[in-house]
Structure 1
Amino acid sequence: MPGVLKSLSSSHLKYVSLGVLVLQTTSLVLTMRYSRTLQSEGLVYLASSAVVSAELLKIAACIVLVFRDLSFSVHSLNQVLKEEIFNSPLIMLKLAVPSGIYTLQNNLLYVALSNLDAATYQVTYQLKILTTALFSVSMLGKRLGVYQWLSLVILMMGIVLVQWPVEGMSKTSQKDLSASSQLTGLLAVLLACFSSGFAGVYFEKILKDSKQSIWVRNIQLGLFGLIFGLVGVFLFDRSKVLEMGFFQGYNNLTWTVVTLQALGGLIIAAVIKYADNILKGFATSISIILSTLISYFLLKDFSPTSVFFIGAMLVIAATFLYGFEGSSAICSRKE
C-alpha cells in the first residue's frame, strides 16, 4: 500500500508540475506581449527594470526554498549563504558567465515580444532545442541518436515555414507588425535561442561538478543577474528612470509578468525533477497551441496561415521526437 500511495503521489506531482509549466509558459508569453504592445492605458514599463525586479523576486523565492531545505534554521541559512557567496570566489566567477547571458536573454525576450505576435514567438523560440543540443555535443560531449538529429532537421524546417513570408497576411498583422519590427523580433528571438542554449549547457556543466543545491546556485545566478540588470538600466534607461522613476508604468499586469518570469526557472526545475522529456515536450506543444488560439481569438493580433500551421505542426512533432529518443536512451541506460 505505501508503494502504491508513493506511486500515485509521484504521478500526481508529475502532471501537476507539467500543468503549472503550461500555465506559466503560456501566461508569460501572452501577458508580456499584451503589456508591451496592446495595453492602451498609461506608460509602458521599462523592460530593463522588469528584468531587475524578476531577479530580486527569484532570489527571494530561492532563499525561502533553501531555508525550507535547512529545516527553517536561520543559523544554517546564514552559514550556507556565507560559504557559497562570500567564501567561494571561484564558483561565483564561473557563474558570472551564464548569469550575464541569462540577463541578456531576458531583455531580448521583451524585445522579441514587442515585435512578434505570441504564436510566432512561441514556435520560433523552440529553436533553443537545436542550440542546446549543439552546445551539449560540443561542450559536454553528449551523443545524439539518429532520431534526435532527424528531429533537429524537422525543427529547422518547421521554423523556416513559420517565418516564411506570405502575401495573404491579415490586415491586423500588417498594421501592427511592420517588416522592420518583425525582423527586429526575429533577430532578438534567434539571439535569445543561442544565449539560452549556451548558458543552459554551461550551467549544467557547473551543476554536475557541484554538490550544492540548485536553489543555492540560482541565488548566486540571481545576484549576478541583479548586478548585470542594474548595469543595463543605467546604460539604456538612465534618463527615463531619473525622470519618471524605476517603477514607471508598473501596474498589476506588470507585476504578473515579473512574477511569471521570476518563477519560470523554478518551475522548470520541478518539471525536470518530477517529469520526463516526453511530457515536457507535450507541455511545450500545448503551450504553443494555447498561445496561437488566444492570440487569434482574444488578442486578435495574429491570423494563422496554412504555411504557419504546417510549420507549427513540424515544430511540435520535432519536440516530441527529440524528447522521446532522449527518454528512451535514459531508460535503456537504467536497464
Structure 2
Amino acid sequence: MGKDVENVEDQEPLVHSVANSARSSGVSEWKRKSVVTLALMLLTSSQGILIAWSKRAGTYDYSITTANFLVELLKCIISLVFLLQSWRREGVTEDNKLTTTLDEVKLYPIPAALYLIKNLLQYYIILYIDAPSYQILKNLNIISTGLLYRLFLQRRLNQIQWAAFILLALGCTTAQLNSSSDRVMQTPVEGWLMAIVMALLSGFAGVYTEVIMKKRLSRNVNVQNFWLYIFGIIFSIIAIVIQDFDVVMNRGFFHGYSMVTVCMIVNHALSGIAVSMVMKFADNIVKVYSTSVAMLLTAFLSMFLFGFQLTLPFFLGTMVVSVAVYLHSQGKGGK
C-alpha cells in the first residue's frame, strides 16, 4: 500500500508536467492561429485597395507583368529565408532539402501558370469595379473550389455546402445591386465575366496546389513554395516578353512605379506566403474570419480613400456572403 502511495506521488509531477505541456501547446496554437488570422485579414483587405490606389486616371502607369514578376521573386526569397532558418534549427533533412525528383517538380508548372493568369486578371478586374466589390466577388472561388473538389476528387458536397453556395451567389449579386441609377447592377458585364473566370482559375489552382501540399505532409512547406514560385518566376518572364517587352525596353523595368506600387508588391508576396501556410495546415476558421472581416474592412477603408458609398444592398450582401462562408466552413467540418 505504501509503495502504491509512493508510486502515485512519484507520478504526480509527471502528470502535472504533461498537463502543463498540453496547456502550453494549446496556448501557443491559439497564438499562432490568432497571428495568422490577423495577418491574413489585413493582407487580404488591403490587396484590392492597393491595386485600386496604384491606378492613375483609370489605368496603370507601370507594367503589371513586371509587378507580378517581382511578387513571385519576393515570395521565392522569403521562402528561402524561412528555409535557411529551418536548416539552422534542424539541419538539412530528407524533408527540407531543395534537391528533389522530377516526379515532384513536374507537378508545379500547372498551378504556377494558373496563378499567373489569375494574378494578372485581378488588375484588369479593378479597372471595372471598386475594391470592396472586388473583395466580395473574390468569394466566388469558394463555389468553383467546391465544385472542382466534387468533379476531380470525388468529394461529396453535403446540403449545408450546397446551401452555402446558393447564399454566396445571392450575396454577391445583392451586394452589386444599384438602387440609385438606371443600371440594375453596379458591376459591368466585363467585370462579372472576369470575376467568374478568376474564380475558376483560383479554384482550380487552389485545389491542385492543396493536393500537392498534402501529398507529402512531412515535406517542408518552404521547399514546396520555392518550386512553385520558381515556375511562377519563369512564367512571369515569359509574360513580360509577350506583353510588355517593347515598353520595358523603351521605358525601363521600373517605369511608373510608386511607393503604393511597392507596397502592393510586398502585400501580394506576403499574402501568397500566408495562403500557402493555411493550405498546408488547413484551418477553416482562420479563412472564415479573415475573409468575413476583410470584406467589411475593405469597404470601410474605401469610404475614406476613394469616397466609396456604403449602400444597404452592399451591406446586406456582405452579411449574406459572410454567413455563406461560415456555413461552407461548417459543412466541411461536418464531413
What TM-score range do you get, normalising by the shorter chain? 0.7 to 0.9
Q: 2:6: which partner in 1?
A: none
Higher mean C-alpha deviation, range 138-147 or range 97-106: 138-147
Structure-2 separation of matches of 1:273 and 1:100: 20
After superposition, residues 1-335 of structure 1 pair within 5 angstroms as 1-37=20-56, 44-71=61-88, 80-81=97-98, 83-84=99-100, 88-164=101-177, 166-169=178-181, 182-210=188-216, 211-271=218-278, 276-300=283-307, 302-329=308-335
Query: Any runs of at least 4 consecutive aligned residues in structure 1 with deviations exceeding 6 A, and if so which?
Result: 72-77
Tell me, which stretches of 5 or more residues in structure 1 are unaligned? 330-335
Structure-2 separation of matches of 1:98 and 1:13: 27
Alignment root-mean-square deviation, CA: 2.7
Query: Which of the two has higher C-alpha Rg?
Result: 2
Distance 1:185 1:37, change over 3 A: farther
Structure-1 separation of matches of 2:58 and 2:304: 16
Structure-1 separation of matches of 2:322 and 2:125: 21
Q: State the number of aligned residues.
A: 313
Residue 204 of structure 1: CA displacement? 1.8
Structure-1 separation of matches of 2:322 and 2:155: 23
Structure-1 separation of matches of 2:243 and 2:165: 36
Using the size of structure 1 for normalisation, the TM-score is 0.85
Identity of aligned residues (%): 28
Residue 309 of structure 1: CA displacement? 2.4
Structure-2 separation of matches of 1:225 and 1:274: 22
Tell me, which stretches of 5 or more residues in structure 2 are unaligned? 1-19
Q: 2:7: which partner in 1?
A: none
Q: Deviations over 1:102-151 (max 9, x none)?
A: 01111011111232101111111100000000111111121222111110
Structure-2 separation of matches of 1:266 and 1:157: 31
Residue 328 of structure 1: CA displacement? 3.8
Structure-2 separation of matches of 1:75 and 1:12: 28
Contact 2:210 2:280 in 1 (8 A): no
SS at match of 1:80: coil
The structure where helix makes up a greater share of residues is 1
Using the size of structure 2 for normalisation, the TM-score is 0.85
Structure-2 separation of matches of 1:27 and 1:225: 22
Residue 234 of structure 1: CA displacement? 1.2
Residue 214 of structure 1: CA displacement? 2.3
Q: Deviations over 1:207-232 (max 9, x none)?
A: 33335322212111111111111111
Structure-2 separation of matches of 1:144 and 1:89: 34
Contact 1:128 1:194 in 2 (8 A): yes
